[in-house]
Structure 1
Amino acid sequence: MKKKLISLILTLIQLSVDFSIVAASISLVIVIILVASTPFTGFAHELFDYHSWWSLVLQAVTASVLVFLAIIMFVGVHSLLRNINSGLYFVNQNLVAVRQILWPSLVVFVLQSLASICFRL
C-alpha cells in the first residue's frame, strides 16, 4: 500500500512536470515570436522595460534563453522522477539528470544576476 501511494504521488508530480514542459515550450514559442516582432510592434514595449531598442531586444532574448534553460531543467526533473519511480536510485542516469538540472540553474543564476545589474544601470 505504501509503495503504491508513493508511486502514485511520484506519477502525479511527473505529470505536473510534463505539463510544465509543455507550458514552457509554448511560452518559448511566444517569446521567440515577440523577439522577432519587437522592433515592429508596440506590444513588446509594454511587456519589457523599454530604454532603447537594444535594451528591448536584449531583454526579449534573455527571456527566451531563460525559458529554454527552464525546459532543459524540467526534462532533467522528468527523467529523474521516472528513474526513481522505476526503482532505479543509484544509477548513472540519475547523475546525468542531476547535472541536467544543476548546470542550467547555474546559468540562470548568472544570467539573472547580469540582467539585474545591466537593467538597473
Structure 2
Amino acid sequence: MDTPFSNPRARSPAIQDLTDEQWHRIVPLLPEMKDHGPRRGRPCIDIRCVVNSVLWVLHTGKPWHAMPDRYAPYQTAHRYYLRWKNSGVLANIALTLFDTDAMLARPITRRSDPRTV
C-alpha cells in the first residue's frame, strides 16, 4: 500500500497536521506522553508539534532545517525522529496511522560526500 511517505511521486508540499482522532490513536505509543510526575529544568516541548514536524519532513522529503516556523525547532524534531526510529516508536506510529511501516523503508539520508570507494 502506497502512502505519501513510501511513494516519492505522491509527495507534495502540502500536508495536514494530525487530526485529533489520529493524535488520540498514537498518544499511547509515545513514551514522552506517560506521566513522570513533576519535572524540573527545561520546559517540556509540545510532543504533538514534534510528531507533526517529523511527519512533515518524511512527507515532503525536504531537509530538517527547511521546516516552516509553525513546527518544532528542527534540531528537536530530528533528535526525536532518531530516538523514535531507533526504538521502533516511529514504525508503530506508521502502522497505527497508515497500516504500514513503508515510510520507514525510505530512510532520510542526504549525503554530499564526493569520495568514491
What TM-score, normalized to structure 2?
0.32
- Compare relative contact order (CA 8 Å, sep 6+) and give the higher one, 1 or 2: 2
Greater fraction helix: 1
What TM-score, normalized to structure 1?
0.31
**Greater Cα radius of gyration, structure 1 or 2:** 1
